[in-house]
Amino acid sequence: MNIALIAHDKKKQDIINFTVAYTPVLKDHSLFATGTTGMKIAEATGLEIHRFQSGPLGGDQQIGAMIADNKMDLVIFFKDPLTAQPHEPDIAALIRLCDVYQIPLASNMASAEIFIHALERGDLDWREIIRKRGEEEA
């Protein structure tokens, strides 16, 4: 599975803690992240992560492009709901793309844990079928 990992500044430690705890699950998947988040996760876990630009510099849009191309299966985006974000339209566009393309989106630790356990059980394997079907049609 292709998994995007994103976190606002005040949530970076949370996503690091999450990825450290679930490294045994995440290591079996292809991981993508926005700039600083990806760097910090890689340093803390040793996981291989494809890093895009930081969110405000287009990283959210790069992940959005993968979603639109049917190349992303799960987005874990720890948002900070209490701080205004200068690139809020990009964030809204990313969330909208997840909704349009039926990509599971976890926006906090609680929902991310539910998805990671679903991933372990194989509950998200339907994404691989959808992705392969899209590749055949292309």
Which amino acids are annotated catalytic? Answer: 60
3-class state of residue 24 by DSSP: helix
The answer to whether residues 69 and 103 touch, using CB atoms and an 8 Å cutoff, is: no
The answer to whether residues 106 and 76 touch, using CB atoms and an 8 Å cutoff, is: yes
